[in-house]
Amino acid sequence: MKKIKEEKIKKKFKDISKKERPKSKLLRDSIRAFIVGGFICDIGQVFSNLYTYLGFPKDQAAAYVSITMVFIGAFLTGIGIYDKIGDFAGAGSVVPITGFANSIVSPAIEFKKEGLVFGIGAKMFTIAGPVLVYGIGSSVIVGIIYYFLTL
């Protein structure tokens, strides 16, 4: 009797949870991410074309594009617009370099009340720190392996 009652409860729970489960928005979210991420890349391409048109060598223009896009991402985060873009676009705003700027500036803004050292300095790299550590660490390892392979 107790087992039958438990099975009825489990079935009822499954039915309710299936009914109340939010509908998948994967297609909508993917389209938004694609459009916004593409638009961010288009903006970067406009700056690349501008710097090349102004006579900068291609490698120097690429560095200026990175600097410009990081500045734009940090600035938009500082005035509260980048978070709204992220809410709308999801990964489309995280993947470009502007998302990296956002991941550094957001914690710095959030913890600025705790001071320059323990607030901004300590919390600024909470999200981006592991990316930097593993990125730099793996590039050093690859560089050492490359060095020994080319001897």
Residue 76: inside a domain? yes
For the chain, 151 residues long, give each residue's pLDDT as a single digit of tens: 667 777 877 788 887 877 777 777 889 999 999 999 999 999 999 999 999 999 999 999 999 999 999 999 989 988 999 989 988 998 888 878 888 888 878 777 777 777 766 666 666 667 677 777 788 889 999 999 999 999 8
End-to-end CA distance of the chain: give it in Å, rounded. 78
Residue 9: inside a domain? no
Q: Which of 32, 7, 46, 136 is nearest to 84 (CA)?
A: 32
Residue 14: inside a domain? no
Range of the domain at 79: 25-149
What is the pLDDT at residue 131?
72
Residue 34 φ/ψ region, left for φ over 0, alpha for ψ in the -120 to 50 degree band, beta for the rest: alpha
Residue 13: inside a domain? no
Residue 12: inside a domain? no
Residue 93: inside a domain? yes
Tell me the DSSP string of 28-90.
HHHHHHHHHHHHHHHHHHHHHHHHHHTT--HHHHHHHHHHHHHHHHHHHHHTTHHHHHHHHHT
Domain count, the chain: 1
Q: How many CB atoms lie within 10 A of CB 62?
A: 16
